[in-house]
Chain A
Amino acid sequence: MKEKSSVSVLLNGILKENPVLVLILGTCPTLATTTTVKGAVGMGLAAMCVLICSNVFISLLRKRIPESMRIPCYIVIIAGFVTIVKMIVQAYLPELYETLGVYLDLITVNCIILGRAEMFANKNPVVASALDGIGMGLGFTLALTMMSTIREVFGAGSFFGIEIPFMANYKIEFFTKAPGGLLVYGLLIAFIYAVTHGKAPLKKSFSCEGCPNAANCQGGSCSEKGDEN
C-alpha cells in the first residue's frame, strides 16, 4: 500500500498535475529557457534540485516553522538553495551558467517551488516530500524538454546542439524568438487539452493560476487578500 502511494506521488507531478502543462506554473522559465534543449534540460534539472532540497528541508522543519512566518522562511530557504545550485553550476558547468544567465537566479521566484512548499512539503513527511519534489521536477523538466525540442528542431534545425541534416536547411527562426515561445506554449496546451478531452483540470479563468500565490489560496480568492505574505 505504501509502495503504491509513493509511486502515485511521483507520477502525480509528471502526469496528473504537471506543473507546466496542467497547473500552468513557472511560465517564465518555460518560455525563456526553451530555445535550446540543452538550456531547457539544464533549467529543469536545476529547478528540480532546488525543489527536492527545499521540499526536504521544509518538510523537516514543518513543525518548527511558525505558521505566521512561514512564507518568509520558505523564501529564504528557497533563495538559499537557488544560490547553492547557481554556484555549483557556475563552477562545474560554466557553459550552462552562461546560457541560463539571470533565469537561474529567478528560480527563487518560480511559483512551482513556493507552491509545492506550501501545498505539499509542509503537510507531508520527508520521504513523500522528496518524492513529490522529484516528480514535480521531472514533470517540469519533461515539459521544458518537449517545448524546447519543438523550438530547437524547427527554429535552429538541431537537437541538443547536434544538427539535423534536413531541418538545418529550413530553419524557421521565429521559433527561437520570443513570440515563437509563446505560440508553441499555447499550441502545446491546446494539444494537451485536445488529447485529454478536456480532462486536464484547466480552469477557464486564470485570475488565479497565473498568480504565484495561487497555491496559497486555492479557492480563487487570491485577489481579495494575500496577507499570509
Chain B
Amino acid sequence: MESFKLLIIILLSSVLVDNYVLSRFLGICPFLGVSKKIDQAVGMGVAVTVVMLLATAATWPIQKFVLDTLGLGYLQNIAFILIIATLVQILELVLKKFSPSLYKGLGVYLPLITTNCAVLGVTINNIIDGYSFIESMVSSLGCGLGFLLAMVLFSGIRSRIDDTKVPAPFRGLAVTLIAASFISLAFMGFSGIVESIFA
C-alpha cells in the first residue's frame, strides 16, 4: 500500500508539479514548435510518451546490469542517446510496416524525438533519483503525460493567440513564450498539493 501511494505521488508530481515542460524546460523546443494544432499536439505528446516508456524500459536495465556492473558509468550518456535513437528508428520502421494509419498519425513526429531533451532527460533523471524499475516506468509515464497535457493545453492558447492582434515586436515567438510563462505560473499552483494528498 505504501509503495502504491509512492507510485501515485511520483506519477502526479511528474504530471503536475514537476512538469517537464513547464517547470524543468525539458522538451520545450517541440512545445513551442509543434503545439499549434490540437491534433498535432496530441500526436507529438503520445509519441513522446511512448518513446519515453520504451526508452526507460531499455535504459534502466542497461544502466543497472551492464554499465554499473562493469564500472562503465561514464558511457551512460552515449549509451542512452544511442538506445533512444535506435528505438525511435525501430519504432518508425515497425509502425510504417504494420500500422500505416498509426504511422501517419505518430510517425512524422518520431524523428524529432531523438533529440528531444525530455526523453534523454527522463532516462537520466530516473537513474539520478535512484528509482526502481517500476518507479522509473511510472515516472516516465508521468513525464510523458505531463508533456502531453502541456502540449494540448497550450495548443488551445496558441490558436487564440494567432487570432489576436499583437504588437509587432511581440509577434510570433515572444508572445508565445509569455503565454507559456502564464501557464507555467498556473502550474506552480500545484506545488505542495501532491505530497499532502495522502497526509
Query: Is the C-beta of A139 less than 8 angstroms from some C-beta in chain B?
Result: no
- Asked whether, in the complex, the Cβ of A211 is within 8 Å of the Cβ of B33, the reply is yes
As a 0/1 sequence over residues 101 to 118 of chain B, the CB contacts with chain A under 8 angstroms (1 = contact) are: 000000011111011110
- Asked whether, in the complex, the Cβ of B33 is within 8 Å of the Cβ of A207, the reply is yes
By beta carbon, the residue of chain B nearest A192 is B169
- Asked whether, in the complex, the Cβ of A212 is within 8 Å of the Cβ of B115, the reply is yes
Query: Is the C-beta of A161 less than 8 angstroms from some C-beta in chain B?
Result: no
Query: Is the C-beta of A218 less than 8 angstroms from some C-beta in chain B?
Result: no
- Asked whether, in the complex, the Cβ of A179 is within 8 Å of the Cβ of B181, the reply is yes
- Asked whether, in the complex, the Cβ of A193 is within 8 Å of the Cβ of B169, the reply is yes
Which listed residue (B81, B176, B185) contacts A109, Cβ 8 A? B81
Most buried by A among B29, B125, B171, B178: B29
- Asked whether, in the complex, the Cβ of B169 is within 8 Å of the Cβ of A179, the reply is no
**Do A178 and B120 form a contact, CB below 8 Å, given A109-B115, A186-B175, A190-B174?**
no
- Asked whether, in the complex, the Cβ of A79 is within 8 Å of the Cβ of B78, the reply is yes
- Asked whether, in the complex, the Cβ of B115 is within 8 Å of the Cβ of A179, the reply is no
Most buried by A among B78, B85, B169: B169
- Asked whether, in the complex, the Cβ of B184 is within 8 Å of the Cβ of A86, the reply is no
- Asked whether, in the complex, the Cβ of B182 is within 8 Å of the Cβ of A75, the reply is no
Query: Is the C-beta of B23 less than 8 angstroms from some C-beta in chain A?
Result: yes
By beta carbon, the residue of chain B nearest A82 is B77
Query: Is the C-beta of A225 less than 8 angstroms from some C-beta in chain B?
Result: yes
Interface SS, B side = helix
Within 54-82 of B, Cβ neighbours of A (below 8 Å) are at: 74-78, 81-82
- Asked whether, in the complex, the Cβ of B24 is within 8 Å of the Cβ of A109, the reply is no
Q: Tell me, in angstroms, the Cα distance from A87 to B75 when the chains sit together.
A: 11
Query: Is the C-beta of A76 less than 8 angstroms from some C-beta in chain B?
Result: yes
| Chain B residues with CB under 8 A of A110 | 117
Which listed residue (A79, A202, A225) contacts B81, Cβ 8 A? A79
Query: Is the C-beta of A167 less than 8 angstroms from some C-beta in chain B?
Result: no
Query: Is the C-beta of B34 less than 8 angstroms from some C-beta in chain A?
Result: yes
Query: Is the C-beta of B22 less than 8 angstroms from some C-beta in chain A?
Result: yes
**Shortest beta-carbon distance from B55 to chain A in Å:** 12
Query: Is the C-beta of B30 less than 8 angstroms from some C-beta in chain A?
Result: yes
**Shortest beta-carbon distance from B28 to chain A in Å:** 5
- Asked whether, in the complex, the Cβ of B171 is within 8 Å of the Cβ of A204, the reply is yes
**Do A224 and B30 form a contact, CB below 8 Å, given A108-B81, A109-B120?**
no
**Given contact pairs A178-B23, A186-B173, a sample of 17 additional A-B residue pairs in the complex whose CB atoms are under 8 Å apart:** A32-B26, A75-B81, A105-B120, A109-B120, A114-B115, A186-B181, A189-B174, A198-B169, A207-B33, A208-B33, A210-B32, A210-B33, A211-B33, A212-B112, A222-B111, A225-B108, A226-B111
Chain B residues packing against A (C-beta within 8 Å): 22-34, 36, 74-78, 81-82, 85, 88-89, 108-112, 114-117, 120-121, 124-125, 128, 168-178, 180-182, 184-185, 188
Chain A residues packing against B (C-beta within 8 Å): 24, 27-28, 31-32, 71-72, 75-76, 79-80, 82-83, 86-87, 101-102, 105-106, 108-111, 114, 177-183, 185-187, 189-191, 193-194, 198, 202-204, 206-213, 222-229
